[in-house]
Structure 1
């Protein structure tokens, strides 16, 4: 049996069912990944500090690992449709204590990511508006306006966010494709990226780590399963589509950028532009001219806000699911009757992230070097750990059910899980490079994962002792029952 939803009235602990198709979920996920931001920031870091001209191959390898993981993830989504995402998966497969550990790791990862995104959005908006429009303002102003917009949109239905994010996605991908075509026409594509000496140049480990960083957010497909049309089919298709599009687009665009400067010297050139952060901008000015380059930088502002909104949507759904399950205050599980939006969870989430960003601002810390570096670094690590836990849960879930499919429910998720465990080790060992900071304080942030572990186990003990009814229901964290139909996978 698999889960297929029929439309349900929102409110009373229900999200708005039947609101998103494959395209809507893909837009929400790709907006969180933020292709333009990924190319300008992550791809540049990977080329400069990773394996230089071999970065496109690193993107493709990351996509392969995540497609292997996604194979099992897609099968699991046919059986568990919950806004709790990996919390629900781990709980169903491994039991309540590991599930609550996964829940607190998810809270750590997504909430930190949103706090970092507030700083990134405000800083780059102020920077771009100053350079392009001559409008010089403090970054805190734009961060505040971004937060206000996210708060207001959080009270609307998820379909509104999907439409806004879809428009943003089309624009930012469109401008990058214009740059890609211009490079193809002028420079062509260099086949040197496939030579062994280029693929293993520099630090292959860091290259892979930054490549995986560009995919963080794809796993949010499952978080929208309760709001999807026919989640048993929609979520798997959205997952495969998101991973494939991210991998192919990042690999192709980084290939074009590397071809524009030469595969053999790409690492050195990107490194020379790293401090100013204008590697892509310098290529764009030469290839498409200053006017389109300015347009690209303005779209970067749109991309950053889209990423903030999409990450907020993911984080608030974890809070909503945990409130509904009584792991956190039950008020978080309330929804707006008309739109089905998790308004309380949304307000709490953006309020928490804003408070974190405000503390950094009051302390006079840099929004990128301090706020973004620390929060995005620990957020990335937390989500990668969460993915690795989910990979283990998927294998255990289907083995316990006696599933005989050796590829979709065993070998593919095992291989994907091993890849994710390897990336987790890389992330911990190279956390300073991942966070983009050499601060000794930031280097200690991975220890927060032990805090999440302790918090999850402590909450499990407390609920088992004092909230036995709610604790017993944790393995069924979906919304109130909906119609089930047989779905073959």
Structure 2
């Protein structure tokens, strides 16, 4: 039987609050700031700028800020319907629950397994980026040369340790790291703008048309493609949709999900546009593309470092080098948490082994978290064996893996758009709105499908490897993960119809029951 727990209003749970039942996460553990920290650190603003702006410039030239503008608009429109759905369906299952409610349990199980594995792949990818920045920075500071995989192992071990504690501790750790990286980027951006950049301040970088066939990018990189720039932009937001995954641990799930989602999408969009514009202005329109070429050639570790040297001072460069490591760690930790919650939700509903739904004494998804650790370690080990070099941690594990993860997430987001439309046309007709639950999901879904097509078409350019099986088979790997989840659901429907009936239907606020539940006493048993 589906368990329905009435969400209670603001205020934190007191020391005498009842412990969550088995298979439940810590109740009322997170307020709005904590949820925002968990979400925004998943986007990792500093890592996104150091890693993704050069990729966006490779495809869109000096118009990289316009690529972030396009992504901001597309994801904001997507969020309209997403928030409408999250107000009705509140569960740690996130996308899995949404697709199950809108498109059925079979499609939901496919989406759940795909999205859970994508987040685990993201953890491995960002751990690789962290290992690269840690190895290069430590060598620069001390002359000690240690392999990137050693730093990767240390980082994963620390994440695993934090996962055993109450989620609020992780949120505080992520919050401290987030504040540091945002301040560093703001200092650099303001310094560039105040000093007028290399050639003065121009509005040309914000022209969306300039993203497509940008002459400066083509002159340096050859057949530059808009898909490269847009991939880098969309990849920078991965994790913005995490708010519903923390619903069971939030003090006011509906309000927090809305504010946190809009705040992360729009806030990050404005911040990314500012920082990418400061990068372009700091180097100049043509110089910004040449600087990326120099970075890719190994002239410097990041095209941002000479900017901080020139416009602020070497002390800021050193700070950014340090924060690049902590930012990557925070990003990986946020993905780690979300991946664990997807495994937890899938285990609770028996799509995956039920042991994944066991929690620690502090009500963290302990078994699911340790499973993420094992999967990340095995996945990362495969890449390390393929290329153990420090550069391989960035250019292979850190570059190839996000292509797989982003493609999977964009595909599931398109499915979510379809699920929102069907859900409000059938199950929740009283909540139907012509814009938020129809037009916005149609536009958002079309944007996600278009982004998927651009990523697939340009995957060889993005990876820098045309004939590697991992890259050529990329779309089929995504399809295989989705089909595997569907097969699990079909088998369950045949062998255990009662269990199948509960797939995707664990929720804190079920629209069919909330009218009754909201009038029950706060701590009433079900």
Q: TM-score, length-normalised on structure 2?
A: 0.87
Residue 87 of structure 1 is matched in structure 2 by: 96
Q: Distance in 1 between matches of 2:308 and 2:509?
A: 51
Q: Does 1:266 align with 2:288?
A: yes
Matched, 1:368 2:394: yes
Alignment-derived partner of residue 436 in structure 2: 408
Distance 1:312 1:431 in 2: 25
Kindly tell me: are residues 194 and 455 of structure 1, through their superposed partners in 2, closer, same or farther at Cα, counting changes over 3 Å?
Answer: closer
User: Tell me, which stretches of 5 or more residues in structure 2 are unaligned?
Assistant: 218-224, 520-526
Once residues 319 and 453 of structure 1 are traced to their aligned partners in structure 2, the CA distance between those partners, rounded to angstroms, is: 15
Task: Identify unmatched segments of 5+ residues in structure 1.
Answer: none
> Comparing 32-41 with 261-270, which one deviates more in the overlay?
261-270
Other-structure match for 1:18: 28
CA contact (8 A) 1:209 1:423 kept: yes
Deviations 1:58-80 (A, max 9, x none): 11111111111101111111111
**2:232 aligned to which of 192, 200, 210:** 210
Please say if 1:358 is aligned against 2:381: yes
Post-superposition Cα deviations, 1:116-168, rounded to whole Å, max 9, x if no partner, equal 22222222211111112333222122111111101110111111111110110
SS state at 1:268 partner: helix
Cα distance in 2 between the residues matched to 1:268 and 1:143: 31
Give the stretch that moved more between structures: 183-192 or 163-172. Answer: 183-192
Once the two structures are TM-superposed, the CA of residue 197 in structure 1 deviates from its matched residue by 7.1
The answer to which of 12-21 and 198-207 deviates more is 198-207
Contact 2:130 2:324 in 1 (8 A): no
CA distance in 2, matches of 1:472, 1:345: 23
Determine whether 1:432 maps to 2:450: no
Q: What displacement does 1:353 show?
A: 0.5
Alignment of 1:221-260 (within 5 A): 221-260=243-282
Q: Deviations over 1:418-469 (max 9, x none)?
A: 1111101111111223445445223222211121132122111210111222
1:190 alignment partner, SS class: coil
- Alignment pair present for 1:459 and 2:488: yes
- Select the residue among 106, 115, 119 that pairs with 2:124: 115
Secondary structure at the aligned position of 1:273 is classed as helix
Give the one of 192, 197, 200 matched to 2:204.
192
Shift in Å, 1:232: 1.2
The residue that corresponds to 2:414 in the other structure is 388
SS in structure 1 of the partner of residue 145 of structure 2 = coil
Q: Cα–Cα, structure 1 residues 125 and 179, in superposed 2: closer, same or farther, change >3 Å?
A: same
2:174 is aligned to: 165
How far 1:283 moved relative to its partner?
Answer: 1.4
Offset of 1:274 from its aligned partner?
2.5
How far apart, in 2, do the equivalents of 1:196 and 1:74 lie? 27
CA root-mean-square deviation: 2.2
Name the residue aligned to 1:348.
371
Aligned residues: 484
Q: Is residue 98 of structure 1 aligned with residue 107 of structure 2?
A: yes
1:282 corresponds in structure 2 to: 306
Deviates more, 1:167-176 or 1:129-138: 129-138
Normalised to the residue count of structure 1, the TM-score between the two structures is 0.94
Q: 2:347 aligns with which of 298, 323, 326?
A: 323
